[in-house]
Amino acid sequence: MNQRQLFLQHIAQTSPAPLALEIIKAKGALLTDRQGKTYIDLIAGISVCNVGHCHPKVVKAIRKQAGEYLHVLVYGELVETPQVAYASYLAEHLPASLNSVYFTNSGAEATEGAMKLAKRVTGRTRIIAFNQSYHGSTQGALSLIGDEYWRNAYRPLLPDILHLNYNDAAVLEEINHLTACVILETVQAEKGVHAPDPAWLQQVQQRCKETGTLLIMDEIQTGFGRTGYLWGFQAYGVVPDILLLGKALGGGMPLGAFVADKALMDHFTLNPVLGHITTFGGHPVSCAAGLAAMKVLIKEKWIQQVPEKEALFRELLQHPAITNLRAAGLLIAVEFESFAVNKQVIDYCIEKALLTDWFLFGANCLRIAPPLSISKKEIRKACRIILDAIDAQGL
C-alpha cells in the first residue's frame, strides 16, 4: 500500500473526501508535498500558524525544551518553568483581570474548563450560546454548537443551554439571575466571519455584570493578531470574565487555555479540589513553543501589518461572482452564490497550488486566514489564482 492508502486504511476518517495531500515540509506561508509541489497556505492550519510554519525561533525553543524535560507530572503540581514563563507573559499582555491561566490540551478542553468554572463561580447552570457558533467538538463544547445538523446525532446533550441569535437585542432579556455564563466568539468565524455590533456586545457585557453572569469570549480563532489586534475583544471595548485561547497559542504545538481572574480561578481549588484535571495540558514543549511564537509575533510587528494586508485582499478580490467579502483582519470569508461554486473554486485553487477551504457553517464561503507573516507578493499570487479559478468555472 502507498502512503495514501495507508492513510485511508489506518488513520480514522471523518470525511468521505479528505484532501489527502502529503506535506513533507512547511516554511513561512508555504507547504511542500511529496511530489515537490509548493502551495501557498491561505488557511494556516485553521488560524494556527500566525507566525508562519516552522519559524526558526519556535523550532529552537522546542528543541531546547525537548533537551531539558518533556512530561514530568500531571497539571498543576510542579513549577514548570515554560508554563510559568508563558502564563506571566500572557498576563503582561492582557487586561489586569485576566491574570490566571489554565493551560489545556486543546481549544475544546478550554471551552469545557470555562463552562465548569462558570458553574462553580456562580452556582448556576444555565448557559447562553449562539446560533452558528463553534467552540469545539467534545461532548460539552458540542452541546454549545449553534447548528442542529452538527449536534443532533449526539443527544442527549448538556442540559440548560439556550441558543440565541448573535447580534440580537432579545439576548439581553434572556440574561438573568439564572444564567451562569454567556459564551460567544468575538467574531463568529465558522459562520463565515460575522463580526458583532460593538454596541450589542457592550450591552451584553453590561447585562452580564448586572446579573452576576460571566462573559466567556472565545478567541481561539481570533486571538494572537488575527483580527489586527493582539486580542479581538480590543476592537469592541469589552473585556471578558473568561477568555478562551487555542490554535495560535501553541505556535504550532497543541495547546489551549482559559484565562480569568485568580479570584475566579481559585474556585477550582476547593470542594471539590482539582476542579479540572489534565495529564498533558500545558505541556512544557507546547508552552515553550507558544511563548517563542508570541514573542516573534510581537517583535515582527505583523499585527500592525494586518489592516494593509486585509485591504490588499479586498482590493484584489473583486469579481462579479463574489457576492460578498467579510473580513476581520486576516480572517476573511469570500462568499459565492452556492457551495457548489465555492467547491469548484477551491478545487481549482488546490490544483494550482493554493491551499484554502470553506467554513463549517458557511459552506459557500472560501476561507482566507493565512499566516500573518504572508508577504504581499504571496497575497497577489494567491488572489490571481482565486480569480483564475473563478474564471475557469465560466462564472
Residues that bind ligand PLP (CB under 6 A): 46, 106-108, 111, 134-136, 185, 189, 218, 220-221, 246, 256
Residue among 141 and 341 whose Cβ is closer to ligand PLP: 141
| CA distances for 33 relative to 23, 251, 350, 357, angstroms | 4, 21, 12, 17
- Largest Cα–Cα distance of the chain, in whole Å? 65
CB of 358 to ligand PLP, least distance (A): 13
CB of 252 to ligand PLP, least distance (A): 13
Sign of CA pseudo-dihedral 261, 220, 93, 330: negative
Residue 296 grid coordinates:
516573534
d(C-alpha 80, C-alpha 6), whole Å: 38
Residue among 185 and 335 whose Cβ is closer to ligand PLP: 185
| CA distances for 24 relative to 10, 39, 118, 335, 356, angstroms | 19, 12, 42, 31, 18
CB of 110 to ligand PLP, least distance (A): 7
- Strand-strand pairing, 358-359 and 100-104: unpaired
CB of 251 to ligand PLP, least distance (A): 14
d(C-alpha 126, C-alpha 176), whole Å: 10
Cα 306 to the center of its chain, rounded Å = 17
Residue among 246 and 329 whose Cβ is closer to ligand PLP: 246
- Strand-strand pairing, 179-185 and 242-245: unpaired
Residue among 216 and 389 whose Cβ is closer to ligand PLP: 216
CB crowding 348-358: b at 16 or more within 10 Å, else e: bbbebbbbbbb
- Which residue in the shown chain puts its C-beta closest to ligand PLP? 107
CB of 160 to ligand PLP, least distance (A): 20
Question: 26: helix, coil or strand?
Answer: strand
- Strand-strand pairing, 161-164 and 126-130: parallel
Residue among 83 and 106 whose Cβ is closer to ligand PLP: 106
CB of 247 to ligand PLP, least distance (A): 6
CB of 136 to ligand PLP, least distance (A): 4
Residue among 99 and 221 whose Cβ is closer to ligand PLP: 221
Residue among 29 and 110 whose Cβ is closer to ligand PLP: 110
